[in-house]
Structure 1
Amino acid sequence: MGETMKAVRLHAFGGPEVLTYEDGPKPDVRPGEVLVRVRAVGLNPPDWYLRDGYRALPPEWRPDGDFPLILGTDVSGVVEATAADVTDFQVGDEVFGMVRFPDGVMTGGGAYAQYVSAPASHLARKPAKLDHIQAAGAPMSLLTAWQFLIELGHDAPNPFQTFPHAPVELEGRTVLINGAGGGVGHLATQLAKARGARVIAVASAKNAAMLGAFGVDQFIDYGKAAVETVVRDVDLVLDAVGGARMERLLDVIRPGGALFLVNPLGFEGHDVAAQRGIKVSSTQVRSNGAQLSRAAALLDQGAVRVVIDSVFPLSEASRAHQRVAEGGIQGKIVLTVA
């Protein structure tokens, strides 16, 4: 029997209670890969969707469940070993990254564990001024914001539309971020500001101070006002919320503007958008260490900051998922690994 490690594993789909902290096999390092001693793990929506068996999808799209599964993609840690063909990293390097996404979307990325193996191309050196908790909170949310707003960075087929997503010019433009207090939203808000945009942030009242500290130009408390009744003629809306009635956001966009949907499922406004010349686009975030390296410079400079909602030890991953179910998350939830 090979070496073992502590991990949080799934033996069946279900609620937070199915997350089991136990011994499992330590992963091997294959060509092109790095073994990371995990210090912290960031939680993301695909984690709880997979834990639940993707019950929101049609039955024919749901995963079969090759149990046991280990959830998680976002890690920060220290290089423990490298394959012989890896030259970019050495043992002892502090790294962070989003591991195997979307390839592992139905099988788990393996990050809820003491060790995870990852393609070297999915990792970047951890920003020196961030601790592992902050770094683990960044990858998926930051890469999502980056690939929507700054640079797509790949030519993989787009699962949501027939054409590739293309970011638009931000400098001097007015950008509205819907869901600006969440994981993707709070980072997208800061990226847009860093790129010279005028930013309107839509979030709950408790996020007003945080978003004000990021320098947003206008804050809208969605509990007090429907955004489509108070805003007009923005150049770009990034919707990080999804769900029902996304098409109402078309009313705040100028003719010829753009609507970017992080979760486009259920959007019913394509005909209206076409009539107004509004570009509607989405994409699926993909692992990209090179992009994280570029974004790391902004994190080190303090131009972009990762906000942490709450922190739990790996052994209490089920409690972390219960926190998700409570809602009202500000920033990111992170697991620490002893």
Structure 2
Amino acid sequence: MDPLEFGTSTLPLQHAPYDAISASTLAGTNKCKVAVVTGAARGIGSAIAISLAKSGADVAILDLSADALQETKGKCEREGVKVGVYACDVADEQGVIETFDKIERELGPIGVLVNNAGILDQRPYLMSTFPGFWRQIEVNFKGPLITIHTVLPRFRERGGGCIINIASRSGTVDVPMTLGYVTSKAALIRATHTLQKEMELDKLDPAIHIYALHPGGVFTDMGGTGAKQDVLDKYGDVRDEKSFMALFKDPPELCGQTCAFLASGRGKDLRGLYLDCRQDVTKLLEKGRDALLKERLNTLTVNFLEGYANEP
């Protein structure tokens, strides 16, 4: 894969938290909110939970194992907030409902949901088992839809709330050997756009604001471990390509602080859009919501041959 195939930025990208999203700027902005973060045991999910805690939110951290969440729990508690630890498979609807009910009993009404849990099996579709492929769809797409379906009626009843779906640039491009991942992330981005439109229909916009967020190039256990040996034997290791490894230069805190910013409501004009946390939110906000929507920017779309569109 040649990263240059997808274009290069002429504006500088952010590779660390900057002033608009810094912990000092956002201190206290999410106080009295309860934020749920899935896949919070390590990496990006852990950083998101810690950033939300730094901004004053009480946090409910979820992962498959409660034991795996203890390090994140300790770091969040150092910020002086309440922290709840919950073992939960986001693809299990009844388990999600029961977990969210428990969170609200123990911490209070949920005000922020960050769908971060995800998995990747890096292998060609022809070398995949179908259950292995489909499990990625279950976790990466079905899981967020379950959590959203569980929390939206509560947001509607309370008159507001924030949902952040951790998406990926992979959902906007063609990346061989990641069919389950790119498909599920593309679906999640499209769902974000559509759900915000539905909030408009029900006059819940902008009180309920929803975002799809690319977390940047973070060298996580999921993205950095590479393919299994059978795939390596046949296709080699993409991590040997300098252009591939150069993509991973961002700390998870960049995504974490962007989530804290969006949860605070300061970026509401970007609701319903697909965002890249490396792009300065102040530049996007300066462009203005009307212009972004009119020009179909930050939206998953397709370009046709000039002259072809819809019927007049």
TM-score (norm 2): 0.38
Whose helix fraction is larger, Structure 1's or Structure 2's? 2
Flag the structure with higher strand content: 1
